[in-house]
Chains A and B, each alone.
Chain A
Amino acid sequence: MSKVSRQEIRFSGFGGQGIILSGQIVGKAATIFDNKYATLTQNYGPESRGGSCSVHLVVSEKPVLFPNVIDPSVQLLMSQEAFNKYYSAAPGGLVTLIDEDLVQPSGEVPSTGLLAIPATRIAGELGRKIVANIVMLGSFAAATSVVSEQALRQAIQSSVPRGTEELNTEAFNRGYRFAQELLRTAGP
């Protein structure tokens, strides 16, 4: 498996946060709007809300053989449990985005490879905490190039409930700008 053509992304948090929807949106952006291949598999417990929940997304230029994440290049973590399980202090090339309102990094946290986004706070300012996942996707778009920003915007528009397009676009924009600023001040 060539690393160039295969990119793996992990999304993890609690059921009810829109973790699976986030994965669906990125996968849709890749498949429908960027014309790549994407395979999404999901993992959750019997509880519909509150249990741990994770999504494996593989994006590739070629059809995806093995569906699970083996060596992710990006992960979005929206719970302490997910952070404790998946975050490594020696990330290699792995970029981790966390919702800093939900995750308290412990121990020595390197300055590279970790982007802390106040997603829940930003979403709260927009009046709906439920769009924190879309704020995270905005930051994801600014920090990575798995899918194009345009494709991601299109995928969000076609995935969110009717009547919430504007709210979700604003959530995406705020997340995007926050990560852009963070990356600019942190340097390359």
Chain B
Amino acid sequence: MSEKSPLSGVFFMTGDTACAEGAISAGCRFFAGYPITPATEIAERMAERMPQISGTYVQMEDEIASMNAVLGASWAGVKAMTATSGPGFSLMMENLGLGIMTETPCVLVNVQRGGPSTGLPTLVAQADMMQARWGSHGAYEIIALSPNSPQELFFLTIRAFNLSEKYRTPVLIMTDEVVGHMTERVVIPPHKNIARYARRKPQVPPGEFLPYKGSDDLVPPMANAGDGYRIHMTGLTHDERGYPDTTAEAQGRLIRRLIDKIQTNKDDIIEVEEDQLDDADVAICSYGISARVALLPIEQARQEGIKVGLLRLITVWPFPEEHVRRVAKNVKAIVVPELNNGQIALEVERCVAGAARVIPVPHMGGDIHQPQDILDAIHRGAK
């Protein structure tokens, strides 16, 4: 098959490239971004591929504009994505909030590197996990996914697009430098076998359409610019027509719905992997590259006769509270390795609420955990 269409086949591919190809397979035809290590290869691939498939690639002046261009493209009816890291992610926070407020489907990829500030431009961290949750101002819910391999990054990019369309909201892919720059076998299925969620369009005449009135699942259908429906977009608190309504009542209604459309659909959004938890005395709860690194100490501990299992958070936000609570009932300790000073560990502690010991394994990044550090924590948890 020519590279001019969505690819299929078996490849030895980097995570970043797999992310770009996943976006293309999902139907993404617009990328606006500003290159930054370690996300640059996503932009490079999109710069090459978008013109081949009648898509648009725009190198923007900065990340603030990039995120805004992505929102605009989505309102024009085109699936749109941007990719960044560290400092660029900080710059995108303002317009991420605009995307949440205007309920604009789009995908934002953060290939995490060490921070704060310029930090470690070429080296790994997972220290933006709380920024992903709370980085834009205001009260809101966000969807964030975390892959542990190039293959999973491919599939989660497709899933991110589908979730963004289904719930009319920006979706974050919180990957990291190791997965982004990792090269592995990536199998891309035939294009016709890939499920793509089509944007829900209004079913009423233009005069009756309320662009911000939730359906039964609290998600409003969406008319694209040019479809013949009146459109109003604003970052101000608005009513169901989209007109500014800066009152406590309107704020209560709108923000409640924006939060509830994610919270009440959690079962559909949340995806975890559970491995060897049935008999486990100790559980590892982790995500992304750290969850993968933990597989080796889990194997070592099992060989020593310690019963360890894994709860891998593929969806990190909304947080898989029920899964964590369920695991906590059956184990003595939950070990949480992550490439930061303990961010998701705080969420685990909140959900466990004393039912089991929570043992964070913080590592500031620059490289992945030493398996021995995780093994030591398992030993402490098994006592």
Contacts and interface: CB of A to CB of B under 8 A. Distances in A.
A42 B295 contact: no
A23 B37 CA distance: 20
B299 interface: yes
A32 interface: yes
Contacts of B352: none
Contacts of B350: none
Given A46-B122, A67-B292, A32 B182 contact: no
A40 B182 contact: yes
Interface string B76-119: 00000000000000000000000000000000000000000000
A24 B12 contact: yes
Nearest to A26: B12
A90 interface: no
Nearest to A53: B122
Contacts of A28: 12
A28 B12 CA distance: 6
B184 A39 contact: yes
A65 interface: yes
A38 B150 CA distance: 12
B133 to A, nearest CB: 27
A1 B296 contact: yes
Contacts of B183: 23-24, 27, 38-40
Q: How large is the interface on B (under 10, 10 to 19, 20 to 34, 35 or more residues)?
A: 20 to 34
A38 B12 CA distance: 9
Interface string B277-316: 0000000000001001101100100000000000000000
Given A32-B12, A45-B122, A66 B371 contact: yes
Nearest to A57: B183
A38 B295 contact: no
A24 B184 CA distance: 9
Given A28-B12, A32-B10, A41 B37 contact: no
Contact of A65 (B122, B181, B184, B296): B296
User: What secondary structure prevails in chain A residues at the interface with B?
Assistant: mixed
B368 interface: yes
Nearest to A39: B184
Interface string B355-373: 0000000000001100100
Interface in A30-77: 31-32, 37-46, 64-68
Contact of A66 (B37, B121, B182, B296): B296
A32 B184 CA distance: 10
Interface string A1-38: 10000000000000000000001100110011000011
A41 B181 contact: yes
Contacts of B11: 32
B37 A46 contact: yes
A146 to B, nearest CB: 15
B301 to A, nearest CB: 13
A66 B184 contact: no
A38 B13 CA distance: 11
B10 A65 contact: no
The 3 lowest CB-CB distance pairs between A and B, nearest first, are A40-B183, A66-B296, A28-B12
Given A65-B292, A67-B292, 6 more contacts: A27-B183, A31-B12, A43-B123, A46-B37, A66-B295, A66-B371
Interface of B: 10-12, 37, 121-123, 178, 181-185, 289, 292-293, 295-296, 299, 367-368, 371
10 contacts: A1-B296, A24-B183, A27-B184, A31-B12, A32-B10, A46-B121, A65-B296, A67-B293, A68-B367, A68-B368
